[in-house]
Amino acid sequence: MDKQGKLSLADKNKVIENLTKRQQGRTAAPCEMCGTNQWFVADHLLNATIVVPGMGLTVGGPSYPQVQVICGNCGHTRLLNAYAIGLLDPDKPVTADDSGTS
Ligand SMILES: [Zn+2]
């Protein structure tokens, strides 16, 4: 991803490759909202923060980065954990990569 957090084409391809591998030959399930199958990976990750009892909104603490896979027809969005899908490495900090591959 670049300094603004935009995923590169290589990042998006990595997500697609990992999803394809995990689907084990099956096609992607159609959209739950409209029934089409026109998915794309969004340009940015979302970051879901954890809930801590007794605390309001926590900013800057532990979180779960999410890859957005969006239906190109209706906009319904599936969120995938960026670590579980293999885009991020839990043992390495997230850094910008300005290799120009986006
Ligand atoms: Zn849809």
Kindly give the distance from the C-alpha atom of residue 82 to the centroid of ligand 1, in angstroms, as a whole number. 22
Kindly give the distance from the C-alpha atom of residue 80 to the centroid of ligand 1, in angstroms, as a whole number. 17
In DSSP terms, 27 is beta-bridged to: none
Kindly give the distance from the C-alpha atom of residue 88 to the centroid of ligand 1, in angstroms, as a whole number. 27
Please state whether the predicted TM-score (pTM) of the whole model is above 0.85. no
Extents of the domains making up the chain: 9-81
**Tens of each residue's pLDDT in the chain, 102 residues:** 888 899 999 999 999 999 999 988 888 899 999 999 999 999 999 998 888 888 877 788 888 999 999 999 999 999 999 999 999 988 887 778 755 444
- The pLDDT value recorded for residue 100 is 45
The pairs formed by 93-101 with CB atoms below 8 angstroms and a separation of 24 or more are: 94/1, 94/65, 96/1, 96/2, 96/3, 97/1, 97/2, 97/8, 98/2, 98/3, 99/8, 99/10, 101/8, 101/9, 101/10
